[in-house]
């Protein structure tokens, strides 16, 4: 685990289950496909367990999962550590009062929205996604949480693409990742 280094034998098994698809969704992108990890219950469970072991005693009150793939990992982590789960969604999906942040992606631009009443001042937040590339998505997620008064304790992703230097956009906030793809 990088960020706070944990050398766990389960990480190798997780890494082998992530499929790399060249030139998807467009030429030059090495797409990290976590759907193949989800097909392996042991590797999927190990992924969740590693995060739960890290966060269960950190007094996290809210797990914010980023649409879409952050929902897959964020929900079971939230349940296991006894925190509420808040989905950070793509535009026009949430029916309540929302705030939004816009951001640039490795292959385009997008916008994240959050229900304002879902997070309270003083909440201790963990932000979960499958992958950090340029860091724009995590940065937008942190901004949403901080705008309503939450403290972002840490961000966590299964995969980091270190060459894109996304970590540098997090303003020094700790980031925990299981697998680096170089």
Residue 124 vs 169, nearer CB to ligand PRP: 169
Whose Cβ is closer to ligand PRP: residue 56's or residue 67's? 67
- Could you say which residues in the range 50-69 bind ligand PRP, by CB under 6 A? 66-69
Contacts with ligand ADE, 161-180, as mask; x by CB under 6 A: x-------------------
Q: Is residue 37 at the binding interface for ligand ADE, with CB under 6 A as the rule?
A: no
Any catalytic annotation for residue 69? Answer: yes
The residues pairing with 175 across neighbouring beta strands, listed in sequence order, are 155
Asked whether the beta carbons of 16 and 46 are under 8 A apart, the reply is no
DSSP string, 10-36: HHHHHHHT-EEEET-SSTT-EEEETHH
Find out whether 127 and 156 touch, Cβ atoms under 8 Å: yes
d(CA 148, CA 155) in angstroms, rounded, equals 17
106 is catalytic: yes
Q: What are the tokens at 122?
A: 């003083």
Write out the residues near ligand PRP by the rule CB under 6 A: 66-69, 105-106, 110, 129-137, 166
Write out the residues near ligand ADE by the rule CB under 6 A: 29-32, 106, 131, 133, 161
Residues with a catalytic annotation lie at 69, 106
């Amino acid at each position: 685990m990088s960020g706070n280094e944990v050398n766990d034998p389960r990480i190798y098994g997780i890494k082998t289950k992530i499929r790399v698809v060249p030139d998807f969704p467009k030429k030059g992108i090495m797409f990290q496909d976590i759907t193949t990890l989800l097909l392996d219950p042991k590797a999927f469970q190990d992924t969740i367990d590693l995060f739960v072991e890290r966060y269960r005693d950190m007094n996290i009150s809210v797990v914010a999962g980023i649409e879409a793939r952050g929902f897959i990992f964020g929900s079971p982590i939230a349940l296991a550590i006894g925190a509420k789960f808040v989905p950070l969604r793509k535009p026009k999906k949430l029916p309540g009062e929302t705030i939004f942040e816009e951001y640039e992606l490795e292959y385009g631009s997008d916008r994240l929205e959050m229900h304002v009443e879902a997070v309270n001042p003083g909440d201790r937040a963990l932000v979960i996604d499958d992958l950090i590339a340029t860091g724009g998505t995590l940065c937008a997620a942190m901004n949403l949480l901080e705008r309503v008064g939450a403290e972002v304790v840490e961000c966590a992703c299964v995969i980091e693409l270190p060459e894109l230097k996304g970590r540098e956009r997090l303003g020094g906030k700790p980031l925990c990742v299981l697998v680096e793809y170089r």
